[in-house]
Structure 1
Amino acid sequence: MSTTPNPAASQILLTPEETSQALGATLDELHHWRRHGTGPAFHSLGGNLVRYSAAAVAWSASSTATT
């Protein structure tokens, strides 16, 4: 078994709906976090198309679970 990080896994992008479910947050909360520069890292792909890094979402979920 390899312990080498999988670069492809770190580049998985989630929709706002998937991110909302993973974090237990509403879509409105995600929008608020984006506007205020808080919450998980996201990528704006033009227009209203937003995606979240799966790694950032996992980190956010683990950090909120411990607080």
Structure 2
Amino acid sequence: MKLETNLGQTDRIIRVAVAVVFAALNLLGVVGGTLGIVLWVLAVVFAVTSVVSFCPLYFPFKFSTKGK
């Protein structure tokens, strides 16, 4: 089964930027504990969805930022 991409270039860039910020906050010790873990998980999710150009939350609603 091949997943159809549903993320456009701008969406992917924003997701990578947010992932980098979340990871940096953790690595620099700005956040920790439960919030730190949540931000790590979100950073990984944003990075992976950006790399594969697919957001599973967009899929059930047939939403896409990809364009034509």
Could you tell me the TM-score, scaled by structure 2's length? 0.27
Could you tell me the TM-score, scaled by structure 1's length? 0.28
CA radius of gyration, larger in: 2
Greater RCO (CA < 8 Å, at least 6 residues apart): 2
Greater share of helix: 2
